[in-house]
Structure 1
Amino acid sequence: MKFNKKKYLNIAVLSGQTFAAGLERSPQQIDALFEKGTYAEVSYTHIDPDVQGTDTSGNHISDLTEDFQTMGYAVKTDLNPSFRLALIYDEPYGAKVKFEGENNFIATNLPASDAYTRVEVKSKNLTTLLGYNLNKNFMIYGGPALQELQADVHLRGLTYQASSGYNNSFDDMAVGWVAGMSYAKPELGILASLTYRSEIEHKTAIKEDVPLEDLIGFDYSHTNRGSVTTPESVNLNLQTGLNQTTAVFARVRWVPWSDFAYYPPALKATTAYALQNGRGLPLVTYHDDQTAVELGVGKRLSPKLAMSVSGLWDSGAGAPAPTLGPVEGYWGVGLAAKYNINQNVAFSLGGRYMWFGDVKGEVSDGRVVGDFKDNTGYAVGMKISYSSK
């Protein structure tokens, strides 16, 4: 069965940004690289997770995960018949958490403006990819990824015991790399790609306030050189046509979050001294690796309109989970549509609804400090794209 290339269905209606395992906000897709001719896009996503629970004293914890928005940009061009170049911007990691109300994450001995446990993590990624066509079907690609990572952490309340009042902040930029290969057969609606992203180590000045120092008389500067490493990842994308108007697709992502552990230097030194274990305690760590899967089908309903529906599953990064994102993966459904305004410009709109897995929340010394059940969330995104083939 042969397909008309001009009618080949592109079901990359909306690259999914969501609330996922670890600090993930984006699956770091590179769909723009596979577009034909000159291509550009701008995307916006609003994500609203609702995560509630109880602390170990039975106090209610109201929705601790604040809404957040992410932006994405991409441009791609063919340099010649063999080479193509793409620049892709996304915001892959983040957290926005604030505990409110009356529970063990609120300090009673501090002013109201500084009494809440709160965490904000932001990131920006700019990936440059050069693709080389080995032949009409196979392409290899690779390039650098420039990443900015920011964090602002405030731990408060009985949950953190002697560490209540701890603060941590840093802002750093570092470089990693991306490499992959793809296979395409447009006449059959086939596109497959395998992409590897390296870990990125941020070596930076980390500012800390460590109340435990006052208790043990440990004299340690609050600004020290330290490091935090965002994890490597592997993305596998598959698509094949069923007929001229219908295609099925699968996306699989793997991230070794079990290797992630953030040891701020002052916190590590003071907890190592207090515990006499030589290692100290991390601020954040995870138990398991993450696997995320999306399976779906796309269909062109008319020359201008295409839609897709998908099912999603995310394993999470293990249980118990850190309190900055206390969910154990999720199940979800997605629906998206792409409308071709004219032969060059298209508008995409999509949404996802997620049912988060129940999980116990823990702090880095292994104490369970909360129970989080029956939580959900949704994401809505839009994209406008330009293509000149």
Structure 2
Amino acid sequence: MKLNQKKHLIAAMLSVFAGQSYAAGLERSPQHIDALFEQGTYAEAGYTHISPDVQGTDASGNHISDMAEDFQSLNYAVKTDLAPNLRLAVIYDEPFGAKVKFKGDNNFIAKNRPAEDANTRVEVKSKNVTALLGYNLNKNVMIYGGPALQELEADVHLRGLTYAVNSGYNNTFDDIAVGWVAGMSYAKPEMGILASLTYRSEIEHKTTIQEDVPLADIVFSGNYSHSNQGKITIPESVNLNLQTGLNMTTALYAKVRYVPWSDFAYSPPVLKASTAAALGKGLPLVDYSEDQTSVEIGLGKRLAPNLAISVSGLWDSGAGDPAPTLGPVNGYWGVGLAAKYNFNKKLAFSAGGRYMWFGDAEGELSSRQFVGGFQDNTGYIVGMKLSYSSK
């Protein structure tokens, strides 16, 4: 009975919070694969609401009201045992995104355009489906891997004095591409120990990019194609998850994620060609100067046979300062609180929240021009999840 209690505790701590994050670069989810480690047949459905509040001033000293809009995401997972030593998990999440809209009277608003088209605004969306096969080499060690199918779409509109001659720039694309995932885990349930190391490959999207480039109208006299083949590569990542039971009702866990965002640069073909013609160097639309490391350390406690809670501390290094204007924060510190309630042996409900204090950042263009300062900003996340388990 005690061993079963500990196994159930470990499962509770792994899945007590299905939340996402507001992390460096375009990242909105740490892409966890916790469902793979559940026992028996398992399914879950989760919802997350992310609400960052990012304000500042432009290079002229004008106030920039909250430009980071709220957004929601969904995640699903199913897992089953195909054989005593072989399991399959299929996981859906929305790991990358951005939703930005500048308002008010500042250098990110065009005064010579209709009101409905005067704001700098950016929206990036993604959808990921990962299929993982896990094979137990013995009772403690499992290797796993499989493909990851990703859809990525973006809609970008740059307006105002900030972008000078390129105010009026538009960029849209939508593409589906495939990467892969591989990893290894070590489990010792009698000690409450579970460790996993997961690698995700980069995913290269080659697609048709639609662009309207005011600078190209000047340097190429308007003689250029608005529809061209281009690419955007989502960087690789590494996740390390560690967990150990301290006693029959308490578990300690740590999650570390690394993403080399300094390798990321999105250079749409017409923007690159026109800036090369005008400046002697083709400039990207978005790039980052540093790699990201994020850490979460938490403590889980079973308060009753059907109730478990967890508290956690969060840190994200950010991807460099100065930062692009679609996410002008330099990492964050945060705290989290979550709870999981088991209605019965099979059905459970989890809910939780996180509060984050963002690091101050200077906003800049890819030309390394300062365009604004963003200080003393915060954000919060709330999430919930319904899960089913049949052991």
Confirm or deny that 1:7 pairs with 2:9.
no
User: Aligned with 1:4: secondary structure?
Assistant: helix
Is residue 331–residue 356 contact of structure 1 (8 Å, CA) maintained in 2?
Answer: yes
Is residue 262–residue 282 contact of structure 1 (8 Å, CA) maintained in 2?
Answer: yes
Confirm or deny that 1:340 pairs with 2:342.
yes
Other-structure match for 2:319: 317
Other-structure match for 2:190: 187
Other-structure match for 2:266: 262
Q: Give the CA deviation at 1:6.
A: 3.4
After superposition, residues 295-306 of structure 1 pair within 5 angstroms as 295-306=297-308
Is residue 53–residue 371 contact of structure 1 (8 Å, CA) maintained in 2?
Answer: yes
Q: How far does the alpha carbon of each residue in 1:305-332 deviate from its partner, in whole angstroms, 9 at most, with x for none?
A: 0000000000000010000000000000
The TM-score, its normalising length taken from structure 1, stands at 0.98
Confirm or deny that 1:39 pairs with 2:38.
no
2:356 aligned partner, one-letter code: M
Q: How far does the alpha carbon of each residue in 1:95-142 deviate from its partner, in whole angstroms, 9 at most, with x for none?
A: 000001000000011000000000000000000000000000000000
Other-structure match for 2:214: 211
Other-structure match for 2:91: 88
- Distance in 1 between the 2:219 and 2:247 partners? 71
Is residue 287–residue 366 contact of structure 2 (8 Å, CA) maintained in 1?
Answer: yes
1:212 aligned partner, one-letter code: L
- Distance in 2 between the 1:168 and 1:128 partners? 31
- Distance in 1 between the 2:269 and 2:76 partners? 35
Other-structure match for 1:104: 107
Q: Give the CA deviation at 1:196.
A: 0.2
2:248 aligned partner, one-letter code: Q
Moved over 6 A (4+): none
The TM-score, its normalising length taken from structure 2, stands at 0.98
Q: Tell me the percent identity.
A: 75
1:330 aligned partner, one-letter code: Y
User: Aligned with 1:33: secondary structure?
Assistant: helix
After superposition, residues 50-199 of structure 1 pair within 5 angstroms as 50-199=53-202
After superposition, residues 357-368 of structure 1 pair within 5 angstroms as 357-368=359-370
Q: Give the CA deviation at 1:7.
A: 3.4
2:294 aligned partner, one-letter code: A
Is residue 342–residue 348 contact of structure 2 (8 Å, CA) maintained in 1?
Answer: yes
Other-structure match for 1:238: 242
Confirm or deny that 1:21 pairs with 2:24.
yes
Q: Give the CA deviation at 1:3.
A: 5.5
Other-structure match for 1:307: 309
- Distance in 2 between the 1:59 and 1:34 partners? 51
Is residue 344–residue 388 contact of structure 1 (8 Å, CA) maintained in 2?
Answer: yes
Is residue 216–residue 271 contact of structure 2 (8 Å, CA) maintained in 1?
Answer: no
- Distance in 2 between the 1:213 and 1:70 partners? 36
Is residue 6–residue 189 contact of structure 2 (8 Å, CA) maintained in 1?
Answer: no
Q: Which runs of 5+ in 1 are unaligned?
A: none
User: Aligned with 1:160: secondary structure?
Assistant: helix
Q: How far does the alpha carbon of each residue in 1:69-97 deviate from its partner, in whole angstroms, 9 at most, with x for none?
A: 01000000000101000000000000000
Other-structure match for 2:257: 253
Q: How far does the alpha carbon of each residue in 1:183-234 deviate from its partner, in whole angstroms, 9 at most, with x for none?
A: 0011110000000000000000000000012222342201000000001000
User: Aligned with 2:304: secondary structure?
Assistant: coil
- Distance in 2 between the 1:340 and 1:135 partners? 30
Q: How far does the alpha carbon of each residue in 1:127-179 deviate from its partner, in whole angstroms, 9 at most, with x for none?
A: 00000000000000000000000000000000001111000000000000000
Is residue 3–residue 188 contact of structure 1 (8 Å, CA) maintained in 2?
Answer: no
- Distance in 2 between the 1:7 and 1:207 partners? 54
